Amino acid sequence: MNDMPMMQSQNNNCHNNMMQNMTQMPGWKSDKKMMKSNMMYATPEMQKNMIDIEQKELDIKKAMLDDKVDWSKVEKLNKEIGEIRAKMQTEMMKNQYEMMKAAPAPTTPAKQ
**Mean pLDDT, 10 residues at a time, over the chain (112 residues)?**
42 47 48 58 86 97 97 98 95 90 81 68
Q: What value, to the nearest 5°, has the Cα angle with vertex 36 and ends 30 and 37? A: 105
* Structural element, H or E, at residue 19: helix 10-23
Can you say whether residue 70 is alpha, beta or left, with left for phi > 0 and alpha for psi between -120 and 50 degrees?
Answer: beta
pLDDT of res. 51: 95
pLDDT of res. 40: 59
pTM here is: 0.59
Contact between residue 36 and residue 23 where contact means Cβ atoms under 8 Å apart = no
pLDDT of res. 14: 43
pLDDT of res. 62: 97
